[in-house]
């Protein structure tokens, strides 16, 4: 297979825009996803998240940087997808924030979103239900910083994109000029 991923959502093996992006273009202009969510990386991401293996942040970040020689332009700021504070308390860390900081450096990472609503786990939900589940779950903070900025929204996994679309929508509504997405892995 030599077909490239969809430039908007990184769905693998597309000729150009995938059918979903053609039908309903996401609010972000592109998705950087150097890996497919499959073994052994999916195991590493689960170990990091659910088994507290924080040392994997360094390993996974190294893989990301090696796979994707990507230079952050000086006018691009990185915003990790936030956890709700209840989940943050339970887990003790936000894996997306740790990974973004390791990859891009703390000075480029800005926490511009707050997760206000504790949402149900998305795993068992359909795409439509996921969209509904996250609708209104995020709020922009530091709006004066966001205005006119280019933002790279960062998460560990891109599954259906429902969360990333909602976050991008909120950032654009708060005045961001443009939103891109970067993740470690894209689920097929």
**Residues that bind Zn ion in the complex, under the rule CB under 5 A:** 6, 8-9, 11, 18, 21
Q: In angstroms, give the least distance from the CB of 9 to Zn ion.
A: 3
Shorter beta-carbon distance to Zn ion: residue 15 or 71:
15
CB 26 → Zn ion: shortest distance, Å? 7
Q: How far is the CB of 171 from Zn ion (least distance, A)?
A: 19
Which CB, 29 or 63, lies closer to Zn ion? Answer: 29
CB of 85 to Zn ion, least distance (A): 32
Query: How far is residue 161's CA from residue 26's CA, in Å, rounded to a whole number?
Result: 9
CB of 113 to Zn ion, least distance (A): 23
Name the residue with tokens 């708060």: 174
Helix (H, G, I), strand (E, B) or coil at 2: coil
Task: Please tell me what DSSP assigns to residue 109.
Answer: B
CB nearer to Zn ion: give 16 or 116. Answer: 16
Tokens of 102: 């390791």
CA angle 65, 71, 141 (to 5 degrees): 95
Nearer to Zn ion by C-beta: 83 or 182? Answer: 182
**Beta carbon nearer to Zn ion, 22 or 147:** 22
Query: Which whole-number Å values give the CA distances from 74 to 118, 134, 149, in the listed order?
Result: 34, 31, 11
**SS3 call for 106:** helix
C-beta of residue 45 within 8 angstroms of C-beta of residue 33: no
Q: What gap in Å lies between CA 136 and CA 140, rounded to an integer? A: 11
> Tokens at residue 2, please?
């030599």
């Amino acid at each position: 297979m030599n077909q490239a991923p969809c430039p908007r959502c990184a769905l693998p093996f597309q000729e150009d825009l995938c059918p979903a992006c053609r039908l309903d273009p996401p609010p972000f202009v592109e998705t950087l996803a150097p890996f497919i969510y499959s073994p052994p990386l999916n195991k590493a991401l689960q170990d990091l998240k659910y088994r507290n293996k924080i040392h994997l942040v360094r390993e996974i970040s190294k893989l990301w940087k090696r796979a994707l020689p990507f230079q952050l332009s000086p006018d691009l700021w990185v915003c990790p997808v936030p956890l709700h504070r209840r989940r943050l308390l339970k887990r003790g860390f936000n894996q997306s924030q740790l990974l973004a900081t390791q990859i891009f450096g703390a000075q480029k990472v800005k926490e511009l979103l707050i997760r206000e609503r504790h949402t149900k786990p998305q795993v068992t939900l359909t795409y439509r239900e996921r969209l509904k589940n996250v609708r209104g779950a995020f709020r922009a903070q530091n709006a004066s910083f966001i205005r006119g900025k280019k933002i790279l929204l960062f998460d560990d996994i891109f599954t259906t994109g429902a969360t990333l679309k909602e976050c991008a929508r909120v950032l654009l509504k708060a005045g961001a000029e443009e939103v891109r997405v970067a993740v470690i892995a894209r689920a097929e």
